[in-house]
Amino acid sequence: MDNRVLDEISKKINELLANTPAADIQKNLRALLQANFAKLDLVTREEFDVQRAVLLRAREKITQLEARLAELERGK
């Protein structure tokens, strides 16, 4: 999970609670958010892009192999 999202949320909460005695709320809320984000099984954009590239290469290879197979079957 990319911590930038959590850091941004945390920053906004800090700004809201800067003058209140609620320092523990931030820690508890951050832990709650991290736990819930972990349950979502999210991936980073980089991981997504890598998998997308792998799938595109696989799709291209399958297309090539299907064409080659059809060519071989016509030659029988």
pLDDT tens digits for 25-49? 767 888 888 888 888 888 889 999 9
pTM of the model: 0.49
Q: Measure the CA–CA gap between 38 and 68, rounded to whole angstroms.
A: 44
Could you read off the pLDDT of 57-75 as tens digits, one per residue? 999 999 999 999 999 999 8
Confidence of residue 51 (pLDDT cuts 50, 70, 90): very high
Sequence-separated (6 or more) residues with CB below 8 Å from residue 42: 1
- The CA angle 28-30-34, to the nearest 5 degrees, is 120
Q: Contact 4/45 with Cβ under 8 angstroms?
A: no
Q: Measure the CA–CA gap between 53 and 47, rounded to whole angstroms.
A: 10
